[in-house]
Structures are given as structure tokens and as C-alpha cells.
Amino acid sequence: MLTLTPNLTKPDDTYATLLAAHEGLSKAQSDALNARLILLLANHIGDADVLQQALTEAKRGLGA
């Protein structure tokens, strides 16, 4: 089951870390970093049902 309640101990620090990882990168490099990060986290999760839930939640509100 996908966790949708806040689960980060320091969400602002986590967000800052994500932003900092993209500093100095081109758009293409930033997109590649995001893709690699998503694949690494998907592998860590390792559950197709949870990944599908995450994709559904991520698309919610995008008008897709």
C-alpha cells in the first residue's frame, strides 16, 4: 500500500536536497537525473502494485 500521509522527518531539507542535486545541470541532464532517480526508487520499492498507485497519484490533478 502506498503511503500518502507525511512520512519525511525533514521535508524541507529533503526538498532542498532534491533541488541542490539539479544545480548546474542542463535541462537534459536534469531530466536524466530525474529518470535515474525514479528508476532507482522504483527498484527499491520493488512492488508493481505500489508503483502503479504512485503513478496514479502523481498524475492526479495534471489533467491527464
> pLDDT (tens digit, 9 = 90+) per residue, 23-52?
999 999 999 999 999 999 999 999 999 999
Instruction: Give the residue extent of every domain in the chain.
Output: 27-57
Q: Are 50 and 1 in contact (CB under 8 A)?
A: yes
pTM: 0.82
**What is the per-residue pLDDT for 61?**
78
**What is the per-residue pLDDT for 64?**
60
Higher per-residue confidence, 63 vs 55: 55
**What is the per-residue pLDDT for 63?**
76
The distance in angstroms from the start CA to the end CA of the chain is 23
